[in-house]
Amino acid sequence: MNPKTILITGAAGYIGAMLSDQFSRAPGLERIIAIDKNPMPDLLRGNKKIIWISAELSEGIWRDKIKIYKPEIVIHAAWQIKELYGQKDLQRKLNIEATRRVFEFVFREACVKKLIYFSTISSFGAFAANNLNSRFTENSLLAEDQYLYGREKKEVEEMLQSFYKNSRENKQIFVLPKVYF
């Protein structure tokens, strides 16, 4: 598969900006739709392959702007990692609701063939029994119940599994650092 267009969420963040920059160097790729609620980083300014969209993912307004470009791959790297103490509703909006909107886009748009979602090992939980001799697999339970970051990632991975199971589309789904489907 040689995509012409990819969508990268969280494009102003550390991972999103680096991915946008590196993918822009691929000769066959025509454009990168880079979306973030924050301003475009200096690293991406002047890059002719980048189409920058300033938007909050949870609001969903961005979807109509992106549809016209027909992205074949969506890389979802947006996440509010640092806990917003005293603002749990806002954090939920930025993480859970935003990710739900991205998944809805992926599973409703026929042009999207592949989703790459950045998750975390934290969704399995930090337990004394975890060790290097018992590695996590696709069948391992998502067990985090204490820390907000891990709980939110766990909830989103369960949401993604539900979207996938209920989809009639044949899409490739990759959850990094692990692959599910």
The domain locations on the chain are: 5-176
CATH 3.30.1490.20 fits 5-176, yes or no: no
Average pLDDT over residues 151-173: 90
70 torsion bin: left (phi>0), alpha (psi -120 to 50), beta (else): left
- Is the model more confident about 172 or about 120? 172
pLDDT computed for residue 87 by the predictor: 92
pLDDT computed for residue 169 by the predictor: 79
pTM, to two decimals: 0.87
The residue to which tokens 């990094």 are assigned: 176
pLDDT computed for residue 179 by the predictor: 43
- Beta bridge partners, 75, equal 8, 116
Q: How confident is the model at residue 96 (pLDDT cuts 50, 70, 90)?
A: very high
Helix (H, G, I), strand (E, B) or coil at 9: strand
Q: What are 43-57's pLDDT values in tens digits?
A: 999 999 999 999 999
Q: What are 56-81's pLDDT values in tens digits?
A: 999 989 999 999 999 999 999 999 87
Average pLDDT, the chain: 88
Q: What are 99-154's pLDDT values in tens digits?
A: 999 999 999 999 999 999 987 666 566 666 676 776 666 666 666 566 777 788 88
- Is the model more confident about 41 or about 153? 41
pLDDT computed for residue 170 by the predictor: 84
Helix (H, G, I), strand (E, B) or coil at 107: helix
